[in-house]
């Protein structure tokens, strides 16, 4: 996405972020609706699932947690799933440390709370042209819009959820949402190998209680990616 | 799950999600992650997301189902091609759901 000319002030940068985020926000609408529907299916009411979106603001983790809650998993397993599915934020947060350096410690709390795949990707890719003073506000503008859309559409999904017929197979939107995130995450042979091993091990272990196969699959996939990268690296 | 348990679950999830996002951002000015950990973290999205996608496509009813009779696998492959070619969220969701409905209607 081209962002030019250079916004002159932090306020202008914030609104530039808001503008850039609008088409992306349209894309997360179905994801949020499905999260609201999944919440109702898992036995939560509209307020509870909306509170989850307000506080956690992490789509993949919320959907997995709702599946687990619906299956009667213990609190510990729901937390473990949240940890595993959100591990990628450690990587995002490390990469954002420099672009967001100029923020005060209080604003860094807000910046961390609003961190998602989309504003991470845009802030890191635009940092070289926007610079250290402007990038944080651009990032915050995107994050705030996405959070608002996420919360409102989760609530709408929860209201709508009870009325949608089973025959529409709307639960299939959930793996499709993950697929949309998975495809750009596969960038080279090691990450393709990580996806194949992670996906197949998780599938083979699908019968294990509380989706624990997901954790084992993730570890196996990460190991596979690292192994192939190191093997390629050793070749002259 | 009781109301109290649910709210404890939500608060724990909130803290976990926030800590993962906040700690490196706040602390990396003083020290950085070891390079082996950084390397492993690069493969987290591909491995985890595949773990969420593959079972939904390969075992729609809890059993392996590889073949033309599995509508969700076929629709998923079509959606993956659209996602890869056009990099568009709404188009991918639309084509994926449309393919599933069409295949179910045809009774493949």
List chain B domain ranges. 1-32, 43-108
Position A73 pLDDT exceeds 80: yes
Q: CB atoms < 10 A from the CB of A133, how many?
A: 11
Q: Do A182 and B87 touch (CB under 8 A)?
A: no
Mean pLDDT of B59-75: 90
**Cα–Cα distance between A194 and A223 in angstroms, integer?**
7
**pLDDT computed for residue A12 by the predictor:** 92
Mean pLDDT of B5-20: 97
Considering only residues B63 and A226, tell me which one the structure prediction assigns the higher pLDDT.
A226
Can you read off the two tokens belonging to residue A108? 């860094």
Q: How far is A225 from chain B (nearest CA, A)?
A: 6
Tell whether ipTM is more than 0.85: yes
Q: Do B46 and A191 touch (CB under 8 A)?
A: yes
Mean pLDDT of A214-227: 94
Give DSSP secondary structure letters for A54-95: HHH--HHHHHHHHHHHHTT--HHHHHHHHHHHTTHHHHHHHH
Interval B16-39: pLDDT, tens: 999 999 999 998 766 677 888 888
By the CB < 8 Å criterion, does B45 face chain A? yes
Q: Do A90 and B33 touch (CB under 8 A)?
A: yes
> Domain ranges in chain A?
10-166, 186-236
Chain pair A-B, CB pairs under 8 angstroms: 258
Interval A45-58: pLDDT, tens: 999 999 999 999 99
């Amino acid at each position: 996405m081209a962002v030019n000319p250079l916004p002159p002030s932090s306020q202008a940068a914030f609104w530039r972020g808001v503008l850039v985020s609008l088409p992306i926000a349209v894309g997360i609408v179905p994801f949020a609706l499905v999260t609201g529907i999944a919440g109702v299916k898992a036995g939560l009411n509209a307020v509870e699932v909306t509170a989850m979106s307000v506080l956690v603001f992490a789509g993949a983790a919320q959907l997995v947690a709702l599946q687990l809650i619906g299956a009667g998993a213990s609190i510990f397993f729901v937390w473990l799933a949240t940890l595993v599915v959100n591990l990628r934020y450690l990587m995002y947060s490390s990469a954002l440390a420099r672009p967001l350096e100029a923020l005060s410690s209080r604003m860094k709390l807000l910046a961390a709370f609003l961190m998602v795949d989309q504003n991470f990707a845009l802030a890191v890719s635009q940092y070289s042209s926007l610079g250290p003073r402007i990038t944080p506000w651009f990032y915050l503008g995107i994050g705030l819009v996405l959070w608002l859309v996420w919360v409102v559409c989760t609530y709408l999904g929860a209201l709508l959820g009870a009325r949608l017929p089973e025959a529409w197979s709307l639960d299939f939107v959930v793996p499709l949402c993950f697929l949309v995130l998975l495809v750009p995450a596969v960038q080279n042979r090691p990450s393709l190998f990580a996806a194949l091993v992670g996906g197949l091990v998780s599938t083979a272990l699908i019968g294990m209680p509380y989706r624990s196969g997901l954790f084992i699959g993730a570890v196996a996939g990460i190991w596979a990616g690292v192994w192939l990268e190191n093997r390629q690296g050793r070749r002259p | 799950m009781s109301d109290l348990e649910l709210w404890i679950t939500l608060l724990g999830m909130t803290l976990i999600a926030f800590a993962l996002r906040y700690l490196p951002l706040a602390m990396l000015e003083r020290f950085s992650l070891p390079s082996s950990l950084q390397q492993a973290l690069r493969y987290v999205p591909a491995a985890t997301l595949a773990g969420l996608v593959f079972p939904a496509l390969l075992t729609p009813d809890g059993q392996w189902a590889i073949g033309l009779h599995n509508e969700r696998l076929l629709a998923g492959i079509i959606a993956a091609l659209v996602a890869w070619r056009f990099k568009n969220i709404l188009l991918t969701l639309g084509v994926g759901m449309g393919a599933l409905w069409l295949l179910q209607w045809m009774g493949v």
